């Protein structure tokens, strides 16, 4: 048997490395689906707040806290524009675009470069 065929890892499961990676990928996709739904609900709720009459009565700290929550949920440019002005909306949108480019392009490229020399974990390479 080759190393790939008899690899069980430390999970105690009798699966090949490819089967383990497929299972992990499916689990990550499921978590992403759940997260996406939650973010959509939160973003929809956050988008309605600046259009309520009571929003005008919030003090600066509460508005800042609200805008911090918006940054963590997305939809920042629109909400910052309505709540704090056009320049704040453009700045927030640009900053989040920069963060997204780094997280979605540069981080995966760097991780791929680091992982390109590895095929199996060290524990699997030692097993016979």
Q: What is the pLDDT of residues 41-78, one digit of tens each?
A: 887 887 788 888 888 888 888 888 888 777 766 777 77
Of 104, 81, 83, nearest in space to 93 by CA: 81
The two counts, helices (H) then strands (E), for the chain are 6, 0
Above 70 in pLDDT, residue 126? Answer: no
The DSSP secondary-structure symbol of 121 reads -
> Which tens digit of pLDDT belongs to each residue from 4-29?
555 555 667 788 888 988 999 999 99
Does residue 2 have a pLDDT over 90?
no
CA distances from 92 to 43, 110, 128 (A): 15, 26, 54
The model carries a pTM of 0.46
């Amino acid at each position: 048997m080759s190393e790939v065929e008899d690899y069980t890892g430390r999970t105690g499961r009798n699966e090949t490395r490819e089967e383990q990676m497929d299972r992990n990928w499916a689990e990550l996709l499921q978590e992403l689906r759940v997260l996406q739904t939650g973010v959509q609900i939160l973003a929809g709720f956050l988008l309605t707040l600046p259009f309520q009459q009571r929003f005008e009565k919030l003090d600066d700290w509460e508005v800042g806290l609200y805008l911090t929550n918006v940054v963590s949920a997305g939809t920042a440019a629109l909400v910052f524009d309505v709540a704090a002005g056009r320049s704040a909306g453009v700045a927030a949108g640009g900053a989040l675009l920069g963060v997204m480019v780094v997280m979605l392009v540069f981080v995966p490229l760097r991780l791929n470069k680091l992982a390109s020399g590895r095929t199996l974990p060290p524990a699997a390479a030692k097993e016979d």
